[in-house]
Chain A
């Protein structure tokens, strides 16, 4: 098959699991003999010696919004930011042109849509439909909700119309993300397939050391270091245990620090000798860190769609300790492949204490977690399923329709209308009469 992959970000540019997942599945599909073209945004920083991994990568689109905030240095301006958000959520004519042009040049059998947040999701979906190419969209987050939102609020009439107008094949990584999408106004019409996040481990990685009660217990977290991921809960859990006299527990935090208040939290609790901020490690270094730890702390928020890092930890026998109601909790069984806790510091502290004391025997869980991750979530296991779904979509292909000049002109009309409407709203806000 000829597969056009569209993703807002693509490694090495990127922030997290969504784009790594995209790259790993793209590589696996290429290994299975398919021809891929990846269309993504221009990187924020130059990429030297890009390893294309056999797939052509076109970094031609633009991400205008501040959704990837850390590098967004402009002074806040609500009116201007609303304009930017409108374009990045609804329609960005330049990106419509890039997608339609890629369709012309590559003539794909199917378009594989990944995270469209920030690149004008509705415009891109409309363009793929207009060009008559079947598509499969990967829902790893509430992407379709963002596509129908302004000021972080769902524009309900828009969501209703998008729900009615868009029908296709959606692969979702957890039922949680479907529920969230629907609760916030967007119904995923058509075929919905549950496909978990995968991991790419060409060789089984070295297992983490088995924990023996009474030894130093090593916790790790990898990902953006920010409150909603539950880092503060882990720090507080360690403080509670330390106050009980259990201080042979460490926490390594690997990832960009987006919430510097967490450093204050550590200092305030005098946990400097137990909590280590490792910064944004390379992926390889981060994986090596997982291999040296016993527990992966993932006290993430309820709406976390999945979480790739806990799975990578599991593959190393580093047992995921996860919030009981987050996305990955749908896939792993408490006490069998992972440990679960209510998303509160005292609950996480309780599980850690029981591991530390030996009440919970970590070794068997670590072995089962490792086996499950490597057997059930390996990219080479998931890729054939994805291939089947893409093939089903491509079977409906009926030749290209429309043209890029028309798609661009329609997108420019839509984009200028969106800008005009938002400016109209901004004027009312300035006049103090906005509803």
Chain B
């Protein structure tokens, strides 16, 4: 049975994984494991307060390594358990190789003779080895979108594996929809600005900012996120200086799959995912965002029409099975 160690630089905070990049890696791992029909074992590795391992589903485990460095931030955390996590994996897939965490994982994997691929450019700040271009150590780079592939600077071959969403799990649901959910990295700062205009029914789903740890609904687990998106009349997708469209897309696709009407804020770069006016809305600025949200809240038919279109688009273009199949193809290429 081929094994994959997916090494991410993310710190997994209890009780759930908050970093969108980690969710992206987990989603793709689940897709690949399903596409492999039980023949593949994928272990997604992050950092946490304690050593731990949990089964996500058949063929997919999430392992947390205890952080052994004073600096415990995403991308900076390191653990003595890293070598053990690499183990005898046939393939090592390193996320964010330019970070301190990712760079060391990549160097160790290469020197130990693993087959190695990387996924870069998800927004974590570069680490001390950035100038050395650690990603060049990999045999292949995996970009989460064609746009990301165009942005990548590596001279290694690049394969595109788009983000996927579990459209069976993230279904529309049957309940009534009300209120607004703000999701994605930087959700809180956007929510704060919207709060004055929309005092009622504002919910936040995203990672708490460093300035306001523990606030909002950061870290909500899959089931909780599904409930939020199924009940949201409108879902606003935030971005931040750290986010890239591919990372934002994880939450976006979940909301679309749940049939929520979505609005993308300026700078979030969601154009590849949302057909403006059909499967959601893209606005230019915060006043435009406020206006669009007000409009949607007052126009149920418009919400329902764009929500249905969003669901259809998620199912047809970003289904997890397709993403998983694509990732498995890259892994198989590495093993060949």
Q: Across the interface, do A421 and B69 meet the contact criterion of CB distance under 8 Å?
A: yes
Knowing A130-B113, A421-B69, A424-B69, the reply to whether A413 touches B80 (Cβ < 8 A) is no
Chain A contacts for B112, CB-based, 8 A: 130
Task: Confirm or deny: A406 has a beta carbon within 8 angstroms of a beta carbon on chain B.
Answer: yes
Which B109-127 residues have a C-beta within 8 angstroms of A? 110-113, 127
Complex Cα spacing A127 to B103, Å: 17
Write the nearest CB–CB distance from A187 to chain B, whole angstroms: 15
Complex Cα spacing A419 to B131, Å: 14
Instruction: Known pairs A157-B68, A164-B83, A424-B70; list 20 more (Cβ under 8 Å).
Output: A126-B111, A130-B113, A157-B80, A158-B80, A406-B110, A407-B111, A409-B133, A409-B136, A410-B110, A412-B132, A413-B103, A413-B106, A413-B107, A413-B129, A414-B107, A416-B132, A417-B78, A420-B100, A425-B70, A428-B70
Which A378-435 residues have a C-beta within 8 angstroms of B? 401-402, 406-407, 409-414, 416-417, 419-421, 424-425, 428
Q: Across the interface, do A401 and B113 meet the contact criterion of CB distance under 8 Å?
A: yes
Chain B contacts for A407, CB-based, 8 A: 111
Q: Across the interface, do B68 and A409 meet the contact criterion of CB distance under 8 Å?
A: no
Chain B contacts for A421, CB-based, 8 A: 69, 78
Complex Cα spacing A217 to B155, Å: 74
Complex Cα spacing A414 to B132, Å: 11
Q: Across the interface, do B137 and A165 meet the contact criterion of CB distance under 8 Å?
A: no
Chain B contacts for A402, CB-based, 8 A: 113
Complex Cα spacing A130 to B137, Å: 13
Residue of B nearest to A434 (CB): B70
Task: Confirm or deny: B210 has a beta carbon within 8 angstroms of a beta carbon on chain A.
Answer: no
Knowing A161-B80, A420-B128, the reply to whether A413 touches B104 (Cβ < 8 A) is yes
Task: Confirm or deny: B71 has a beta carbon within 8 angstroms of a beta carbon on chain A.
Answer: yes
Q: Across the interface, do B70 and A413 meet the contact criterion of CB distance under 8 Å?
A: no
Knowing A420-B127, A428-B70, the reply to whether A413 touches B113 (Cβ < 8 A) is no
Bin chain B's interface residue count.
20 to 34
Residue of B nearest to A410 (CB): B107
4 nearest A-B residue pairs (beta carbon): A420-B128, A410-B107, A413-B107, A157-B80
Write the nearest CB–CB distance from A429 to chain B, whole angstroms: 11
Q: Across the interface, do B137 and A406 meet the contact criterion of CB distance under 8 Å?
A: yes
Chain A contacts for B128, CB-based, 8 A: 416-417, 419-420
The residue that B111 contacts in the complex, of A410, A416, A417, A428, with Cβ under 8 A, is A410
Q: Report which A residues bind B (CB closer than 8 A).
A: 126-127, 129-130, 157-158, 161, 164-165, 401-402, 406-407, 409-414, 416-417, 419-421, 424-425, 428
Q: Across the interface, do A409 and B103 meet the contact criterion of CB distance under 8 Å?
A: no
The residue that B100 contacts in the complex, of A127, A409, A417, A425, with Cβ under 8 A, is A417
Task: Confirm or deny: B59 has a beta carbon within 8 angstroms of a beta carbon on chain A.
Answer: no
Knowing A130-B111, A409-B136, the reply to whether A417 touches B129 (Cβ < 8 A) is yes
Chain A contacts for B137, CB-based, 8 A: 406, 409-410, 413
Complex Cα spacing A411 to B107, Å: 7
Complex Cα spacing A130 to B112, Å: 6
Chain B contacts for A428, CB-based, 8 A: 70
Chain B contacts for A130, CB-based, 8 A: 110-113
Complex Cα spacing A165 to B103, Å: 20
Chain A contacts for B129, CB-based, 8 A: 412-413, 416-417
Task: Confirm or deny: B134 has a beta carbon within 8 angstroms of a beta carbon on chain A.
Answer: yes
Complex Cα spacing A165 to B84, Å: 10
Residue of B nearest to A158 (CB): B80
Complex Cα spacing A130 to B113, Å: 7
Write the nearest CB–CB distance from A265 to chain B, whole angstroms: 45
Complex Cα spacing A407 to B107, Å: 9
Write the nearest CB–CB distance from B197 to chain A, whole angstroms: 43
Chain A contacts for B127, CB-based, 8 A: 417, 420
Residue of A nearest to B136 (CB): A409
Complex Cα spacing A419 to B136, Å: 21
Chain B contacts for A126, CB-based, 8 A: 111
Residue of B nearest to A414 (CB): B107
Complex Cα spacing A127 to B112, Å: 10
Knowing A406-B110, A424-B69, the reply to whether A417 touches B83 (Cβ < 8 A) is no
Write the nearest CB–CB distance from A411 to chain B, whole angstroms: 8
14 A-B pairs with C-beta separation under 8 A: A129-B111, A130-B111, A158-B80, A402-B113, A406-B110, A409-B107, A409-B133, A409-B136, A409-B137, A412-B129, A413-B129, A416-B103, A416-B129, A428-B70
Complex Cα spacing A164 to B106, Å: 19
